[in-house]
Amino acid sequence: MSPKSSYIMQRNNVKISGIGKQTMMLAHGFGCNQNLWRFMLPYLEETYQIVLFDYVGSGNSDFSAYQQDRYAHLEGYALDIIEICDTLNLKNIIFVGHSVSSTIGWIAAKQRPELFSHLIAVCPSPCFLNIGTEYQGGFDKQDLEQLMQLMDKDYIGWGNYLAPVLMGTDLSPIGPSKDEKDVLVHELLNSFCSTDVTYSKPFAQATFFSDYRSLLPEIKHPCLILQSSEDSLVAINVGEYTHNHLQNAELQIIEAKGHCLHMTRPMDVIKHMKAFLINNK
């Protein structure tokens, strides 16, 4: 492996597992890391070669590789994906993105379509903003600006607000009566708060203030959209909008609360993924 390839593998903390001939890349969402795919991993490794990674500035990536200009926009994160694919000589992979990584995957697919065969989006949104009467992404710009200000003033408080919203549950104390969702929301909170605001705030701004709706009609790959029935971050109308504007898409709504179906409903996600991939060979 060349020095450049070794650098990229270390930079993004790339991990490869599984025994299949077909490669599947799992891309984590904002504030998360590759470990949050672990609920699905054992089942996918039976069929696919799995590529996991952390975006620069997240998880166990090499934070010294962070470039402010590059990661101020989602295109910088898409470049991470493209460089990992080129380093591993990957083509025609199945790309699975959670939340904003769905958009990042679409950006990469537009730039380098040969790298992907199928795109699977878990709770995606091409735009989180409310834009007039034409599009309701879920948030007024002023509310998002206040959320960004909270990151500066009270980073822990910001995490305490956002983690339960994403997980679809309250932030209950961990105790003897804890259930699985209590544990998961605290894990998500720890993931948020373990990342320096220097890296997480630009990623948050690139995530929540961007508008990639115009990109959707340009994506030609078969796409699966997995939407939670009760998602405080991405409402069903956003999933329907995304479905209607992609060229070749399927929408499946999973009865669940929260924005992290790969953690709370992993077997449902796998079931729909397998059916989609069989029907779109």
Q: In this predicted model, what pLDDT tens digit does every residue of 90-142 receive, in sequence order?
A: 999 999 999 999 999 999 999 999 999 999 999 999 999 999 888 999 999 99
Q: pLDDT for 179-199, tens place per residue?
A: 455 567 656 656 665 667 889
Q: Is 120 left (phi over 0), alpha (psi -120 to 50) or beta?
A: beta
Q: Which one-letter amino acid corresponds to residue 35?
A: N
Q: Which two tokens stand for residue 57?
A: 């500035």
Q: Which residues of 182-211 are buried (b: 16+ CB within 10 A; e: fewer)?
A: bebbbbbbebbbebeeebbbbbbbbbbebe
Domains of the chain and any CATH numbers: 3-127+212-279 (3.40.50.1820)
Q: What is the pTM of this model?
A: 0.92
pLDDT in tens, 49-93: 999 999 999 999 999 999 999 999 999 999 999 999 999 999 999
Contact (CB, 8 A) for 226 and 123: yes
Q: What percent of the chain has pLDDT over 90?
A: 72
DSSP 172: P
Give residue 9's identity as a one-letter amino acid code.
M
Residues with active-site annotation: 99, 231, 259
